[in-house]
Amino acid sequence: MGTRKYIIKTQDCPTSEINQEHLNLKKYTSELNPEQFNAVSTTEGYVLVIAGAGTGKTKTLTYRVSYLIELGIPAWQILLLTFTRRAAQEMMTRAAALGQASCANIQGGTFHAFAHKILRQYAHHIGLNENFTMLDQPDAADVIDLVRTELGFNKKEKRFPKKKTLLQIISAARNKDLPIELILEASYPHFLDYAQEIDTLKKSYDAYKRANHLLDFDDLLFELYRLLTQYPEQGHQITSQLRYIMVDEYQDTNLIQARIVGELAKVHQNLMVVGDDAQSIYSFRGANYKNILDFPAQHPDCTIIKLETNYRSTQQILDLTNVLINQAKEKFAKKLISASPVGSELPAIVSAPNEQFQSQFIVQRILECREEGTPLRDIAVLMRNSRDSFGLELELGKANIPYVKYGGQKIVEAAHIKDFVAYLRVLNNPSDIISWNRILQLLDGVGPKTAGALIEWIKQSPTPYQLNQANVSQKYLSSLKALSALFDALNQPDYPLSSISDSLFKYYHPLMKITYPDDFPKREKDMENFLSLIQNYTSLTDLLSDMALDPVDLSAMETIGMHKDEDPVVLSTIHSAKGLEWHTVFLINTLDGILPSRYAVLEPSQLDEELRLMYVALTRAKMELYITYPIVSKHHRDDNFMSNPSRFISNLPEHLYDRLWLVMESSHTRQPGIDGPTAKKQLSDKKPTEMIKNPSDDLPF
């Protein structure tokens, strides 16, 4: 079957043909460098843009959107797929700011959000229930738990993997298109004995989801692909609208995403993918940077454009990062040249006696930066693991420095928030049995079995909210009555969302106190934040899909509200820092075993990914960069042990960085048995920590 372009001229956009008369070319030629302009103005055909860190990738995409709009392309014919919705939002706003307001109306978002939107629209065509329920990760793990219990796999003499691990294994198998066994071999060799069982579990999990109209994150992508490939008519309806497609962060797409992109672009064949193979950091999620390398082979006639001028970082920072990334086993054919003025300081590698000193150093340095005129929001502390910043967070709190944290557990994934949302979900869709299960088990005396029985009743009942009509023992009748009454009150037409959440809170608040007695106050605070966040929504459906697909912004809530007067410092996992930049960047806990993660050191390809991760972290810095590590770090058994700095930094040429040793105030706090650097520094002592630059060079490292 041959494919040809046939452009439909629609009624509502007579100017659909490309038309240069409104194009203000000068805006583009004067504000973009030649390569960027080339990327912006090459609108037709397949285009691959290799964009190194800080080379104006976002700017290029932004201008390209604006350019297309000025050419008269209707916004709805443009699709911009990004990695986070924050990124899409930012690009669309910035594009609109260039003059054409309709830039804000292009189709944009993450693969998952896009898939979700399309599937809601086409569900009935492809045998899906239109009211399908989205499972986020904890939900999906709960379903797996349920299925596992049904299969009796929890009663093995040797330990069976936990539900979360099972989900990870199953998801990895799908996303990488490999059998369970190979996934186990590569990443979970200790569970290899259970390959058979996990495979069975996977099938049951799929069946369960299908039977109950549940979709997990992976399903969104696979179902979209199924729609595009097996339903030509509907597929064509979708793809024929997508005249220009841009995909950001292409190095972090996985197999199914690459296939989807291929399908989406089939009709018009105007596809630009942008990425940097040196910044691929999501292979754990099935991302494959080979997607980007294979692109030219798949589209032999594609245009390749390289952006190599870095507008972000000083040459000193780039010199260091260029050398760093060169340690990779698989090489990258790129070298970044800075366009920034030279003359600033070298990046610093900071060695702290222990984790607390590391935190104190950062606090002190942040305060100094603020004195020097760098606003807090232009300072970031990055870490490999979300928990690596716990100590620092305490110190920041003591010093009264406001901060936001990105990455790690999301507020919407906390148990009490999930409880609350479960009511909303049941209200939205009475056949959402996962949420029912949650709600019912909150009642006193109701456990898995009783909940299961009630759910069976709910499934076939025409009035699922009338729980007290189910055949149950006296024991829980009164609490079920209360629950029914609640839903009766909530389930009124035109009952505003704010009233719903108020009534719900009244009902749930006492339950929360009983369920989580230990840290009730903390959870209560979360809840308040969450309730105020709900105020921004008027539609329950919108709220719920946002919660599933874009919980990122919510995670920042808890800390942000406290300080209205000053924008906070940013704490972020490296993964969540992707695409962002700051004046000053600290990378903390740069220890071997943490970055690189100790789970990655055995496998060269995984080690390379850790290296790229560090590369991403360091290239976020514009002017100042500090790489810090504690010499003594706590292991989870509470004995201290000596720790080595990351292998990635121990071989860097010395002329590329300054070394700072932090000095302790007095020697009695030192741990006995620690030799090396700390022994050297008794010189000083007024401030708790003090920096010494490049001390005598016989220091061990």
Partner DNA sequence: CAGACGACATTTTTT
Partner DNA sequence: ATGTCGTCTG
Nearer to DNA, 154 or 498 (CB): 154
Calpha distance 57→45 (Å, rounded): 19
Instruction: Give the binding range for DNA (CB under 7 A) out of 229-237, 278-286, 344-352, 619-627.
Output: 278-286
The DSSP element (H or E) to which 640 belongs, if any, is strand 640-642
State the nearest-atom distance from the C-beta of 405 to DNA, in Å: 10
Site for DNA in 564-593 (CB under 7 A): 573, 575-576
State the nearest-atom distance from the C-beta of 170 to DNA, in Å: 12
Q: Which residues of 227-253 are buried (b: 16+ CB within 10 A; e: fewer)?
A: bbeebeebbeebbbbbbbbbbbbbbbb
Out of 208, 284, 311, 520, name the contact with DNA by CB under 7 A.
284
> Which segments of 516-596 does DSSP mark as H helices, in order?
520-534, 540-549, 552-555, 557-560
Helices then strands, counting H and E runs in the chain, come out as: 28, 19
Is 550 among the residues that bind DNA (CB under 7 A)? yes
Calpha distance 521→507 (Å, rounded): 17
Calpha distance 533→497 (Å, rounded): 12
State the nearest-atom distance from the C-beta of 359 to DNA, in Å: 15
Instruction: Mention every residue, 6+ apart, whose C-beta is less than 8 A from residue 152.
Output: none
Instruction: Give the binding range for DNA (CB under 7 A) out of 70-78, 316-324, 558-566, 594-602.
Output: 594-602
State the nearest-atom distance from the C-beta of 190 to DNA, in Å: 7
Calpha distance 223→112 (Å, rounded): 11
Is 407 among the residues that bind DNA (CB under 7 A)? yes
Is 84 among the residues that bind DNA (CB under 7 A)? yes
Nearer to DNA, 145 or 658 (CB): 145
Is 503 among the residues that bind DNA (CB under 7 A)? no
Calpha distance 584→219 (Å, rounded): 40
State the nearest-atom distance from the C-beta of 236 to DNA, in Å: 26
State the nearest-atom distance from the C-beta of 110 to DNA, in Å: 4
Instruction: Give the binding range for DNA (CB under 7 A) out of 222-230, 271-279, 308-316, 599-607.
Output: 599-607
Nearer to DNA, 558 or 690 (CB): 558
Is 298 among the residues that bind DNA (CB under 7 A)? no
State the nearest-atom distance from the C-beta of 209 to DNA, in Å: 15
Is 268 among the residues that bind DNA (CB under 7 A)? no
Calpha distance 441→450 (Å, rounded): 8
Calpha distance 112→352 (Å, rounded): 42
Token output for 319:
């010199």
Calpha distance 645→629 (Å, rounded): 7
Q: Are 418 and 412 in contact (CB under 8 A)?
A: yes
Site for DNA in 152-181 (CB under 7 A): 154-156, 159-160, 162-165, 168
- R_g of the chain, CA atoms, integer Å: 27
Site string for DNA, 652-691 (x = CB under 7 A): ----------------------------------------
Calpha distance 56→37 (Å, rounded): 11
Token output for 356:
């607390």
Nearer to DNA, 210 or 285 (CB): 285
Out of 36, 58, 110, 354, name the contact with DNA by CB under 7 A.
110
Three-state SS for 657? coil
Is 552 among the residues that bind DNA (CB under 7 A)? yes
How remote is the C-alpha of 452 from its chain's centroid? Answer: 34
Nearer to DNA, 68 or 412 (CB): 412
| Residue owning tokens 């410092």 | 569
Is 285 among the residues that bind DNA (CB under 7 A)? yes
Site for DNA in 334-393 (CB under 7 A): 384-387
Calpha distance 584→376 (Å, rounded): 9
Out of 267, 366, 380, 451, name the contact with DNA by CB under 7 A.
451
Site for DNA in 136-155 (CB under 7 A): 137, 141, 145, 154-155
Is 633 among the residues that bind DNA (CB under 7 A)? no
Q: Are 597 and 387 in contact (CB under 8 A)?
A: no
Binding site for DNA (CB under 7 A): 83-84, 110-113, 137, 141, 145, 154-156, 159-160, 162-165, 168, 187, 217, 281-282, 284-285, 384-387, 406-408, 410, 441, 444-451, 549-552, 573, 575-576, 597, 599-600, 606, 636
